[in-house]
Amino acid sequence: MTTLGTTRQLGNSDLQLTPIGFGAWAIGGGDWQFGWGPQDDTDSVDAIHRALDAGINWIDTAAVYGLGHSEEIVGHALKTNTTKPYVFTKSTMTWGEDRKVVQTMKKIRQECEDSLRRLRIDTIDLYQIHWPVPDEELEEGWAVMAELKKEGKVRWIGGSNFSIAQMERAMKIAPLTSMQPPYSMINRTAEAEVLPFCLKHGIGVINYAPMHSGLLTGAMTKERVMTFPENDFRKRAKQYQEPLLSRNLDLAELLREIGASHDVSAGVVAIAWTLHNPAITAAIVGGRSASQVEGVLPAAEFRLTEAEFNEIADFIKSRP
C-alpha cells in the first residue's frame, strides 16, 4: 500500500494517519434524520476503494450514519479490497424500530458488538463516543469504553464533540486518545479552547466537516441549494440560509481563486486551512463517488503559504 502524504501519530496511540481520512457520513444515504439525500451504494463502494487505492489509510464512520447502513457499506468495501485501513467508528446515537435517533451512553457495549458485526471486523481501531449526551452518563459511558479497550474489542478510545470539562472528566477514568470536533473556516468554535487543550495534553484531533458539508468545495451554488431533496439535512442548515449562504459562497470563490494558481480545488484549500492548525492530526474528508475522492486527494500534500493563509484570514475578518 502506498502512503498518501506524511503520516502523523494520533495522540497516545500507535496509529499513524495520513493527513486526510475517508469520512463515511454521506454514504449512509438519506433515509434517516441527518441524511444527505439519496446515495447509490455502488458509488459509495467505488469511493472507498478509490481512497484506499490512493493511499488513504483510515476510514471514519459511525453506527448512526444511515442507521447502520454506512457501517455495512464500509464493511462490504473492506471485504472487496485487499488494502486494510484503520477503521474508526462511534457510539451513543441509537435508534429503534421507529428509526428515531436517541442519544444514550447506556448501550455502548451492545453498540460495539453491532458495529463489529456490520463492519465485518474483529477489532475497531478507534472507538469514539459520538456525542457525550446525556452529560450525566459520561462517566458510566467512558468506563465501558475503557473496558472494551482492555478486552481487545477496540484498540484505542476517543471522543467527539466534547467540551473541555467533559474531556477532563473522562481523563480521570482512562486516557483520551483523540477528539473529533467540527472545524472549518465557517465553524471555528474549536479554536478557542478545544484545540489548545488537545495540543497541550497530547490528545490527537481529527476534525470533521473541513469543507463544511460541501459549502467550501467550490461546487456549491445557490441553485443547487434550492434543489436539495427534502431528506438532505443541509436544506435546513443555518449556514445554507441567507445572508450566510452568500457570504460562504464568496469565501468559496476566494478559495477557488487561491487553488487555481496551484491547480487544486477550493475544497482542497479548505482542507489545507484546517491542517494548518498545529493541533490537527488529520482531517476527515467525505466522498460520495470515486470522482469526488479524486478531487480531494491533493489535500494530503497541498499546504497553504503564510501569505495565502493571511489572505483568507483577512476575508474572514471582513465578512464575519
DSSP β-ladder status, 86-91 and 124-129: parallel
Instruction: State the Cα–Cα distance between residues 210 and 274, nearest whole angstrom.
Output: 7
Among candidate residues 65, 183, 208, 240, the one labeled active-site is 65
Largest CA distance in the chain: 53
65 counts as catalytic: yes
β partners of residue 102: 94
Q: Where are the alpha helices (DSSP H) in 23-163?
A: 41-54, 69-79, 108-119, 138-150
Check if the beta carbon of residue 139 is closer than 8 Å to that of residue 108. no
Q: Give the gyration radius of the chain's Cα atoms.
A: 19
Q: For residue 254, which amino acid is it? A: L
Label residues 28-45 b or e (16+ Cβ within 10 Å = b). Answer: bbbebebbbbebeeebbb
Q: For residue 283, which amino acid is it? A: A
Q: For residue 154, which amino acid is it? A: V
Catalytic residues: 65
